[in-house]
Structures are given as structure tokens and as C-alpha cells.
Amino acid sequence: MLRQKWPGIVLILLGIILLIHQLDIVDFSRADIFSYGFIILGILLLIKGAGNKERKGILGGAFFLSLGVFWSLMRNGILVQDDHFGFATLFFALAVANFVYFIVGKNKGANFIWGIVFALVGGIILLRYYHYYYYWDIYDEIIMYWPLILILIGVMLIIRGYKKPAKV
């Protein structure tokens, strides 16, 4: 039933946003329309995901919602408007989406690990933006901290072990 209403809801919301812009109630730029459109799309996907047993839509909804919020904060001057910073927000949105899906969705350890990986990549890009870190130093850090990969795999295996019922 909701599947048949989905395109209609999206078109109504898009029409409302464009009508508000056409009537000069709020002056939206293309970037604003993308930001707010991503927020609306994320909310709709989260609602859809919460309504089904498989939680399909949670990962995408959390991604689009967080990306839209990050971009809106950048457009309004709360976060820095820069290409490196915008690229970092993409990775942070992926991290948020994976953490949300890990908590609310299927509780897969892989989502937790991917959330950490995306957060680290976004953090490295931000550190580079603020001139605290340079890309060629990454090799030295990988050589130093590679055992963290083993720790993360171990955490994933423990989480997976708690999810499976004990065999009797």
C-alpha cells in the first residue's frame, strides 16, 4: 500500500518546495534544494525502513539525512564551505549511516567496521584540511597502528558470536 503512495508523496513534497521558492517565500538555491531534498528523502527512507521487518531503507535514509544536514550546515555557514570539508562530510555521512544501521538494523558487525573506516577517512581529510596531517604521513601511521585491524576484526567476531544462539 505504501509502495503505491511513495511516488505521490515525493512529488507533493517536491512541488511544495518548488512552489515556496517560486512565490519568493523562501529563496532556495540549487544547493539548498539538494540539501533539503536529501533531508526529506532521508526522512522518508527512514520511515519506510522503520515500517518493515528487514529494515530496508534505514541505511540509505540515515545516509541521505545526515548528508543533507551536513550540507545545510555548510550552506548556512555553521560548518566550513570548502571542497575538502564537503568531501569529508560525505565520509562522515557514510559513517553515520553505517552506525545507525548497526544499531537499528541487522546489527551486522560489518556495518560497525565500515562506520569506523569511513569516520577515519573523513577524519584524515579534515586533519589535512586543518593542516594537522599530510597524506604522505599515512604510510607511517599504517605501519604503526596496523594491529588495530586485528582488534576490529576481533570485536566484529565477538559481536557476531553474541548474536548467534548457542547450539544445544
Distance, in Å, from the CA atom of 6 to the CA atom of 8, rounded to the nearest integer, reads 5
Which pLDDT value is given to residue 96? 92
Q: Are 42 and 65 in contact (CB under 8 A)?
A: yes
Percent of the chain with pLDDT over 90: 7
**Residue 136 is inside which H or E element, if any?**
none
Decide: 41 and 64 in contact? Cβ < 8 Å.
Answer: yes
Confidence bin at 92 (pLDDT 50/70/90):
very high
pLDDT at 2 exceeding the cut of 60:
no
pLDDT at 133: 67
pLDDT recorded at residue 135: 60
Query: So what's the pLDDT on residue 95?
Result: 93
Q: Which residues contact 85 (CB under 8 A, 6 or more apart)?
A: 74, 79, 126, 129
Q: 160 CB contacts (<8 Å, ≥6 apart)? A: 109
Model pLDDT for residues 4-58, shown as the tens digit of each residue: 676 777 778 778 877 887 887 777 777 777 888 888 888 888 888 887 777 788 8
Say what the pLDDT of residue 162 is: 67
Residues 82 and 87: their CA atoms lie apart, in Å, by 9
Bigger pLDDT: 61 vs 138: 61
Distance, in Å, from the CA atom of 100 to the CA atom of 112, rounded to the nearest integer, reads 9
Q: What is the mean pLDDT of the chain?
A: 80
50-87 tens-digit pLDDT: 877 777 888 888 999 999 998 888 888 888 777 777 88
Rg (the chain; Cα; Å): 20
Q: Are 30 and 11 in contact (CB under 8 A)?
A: no
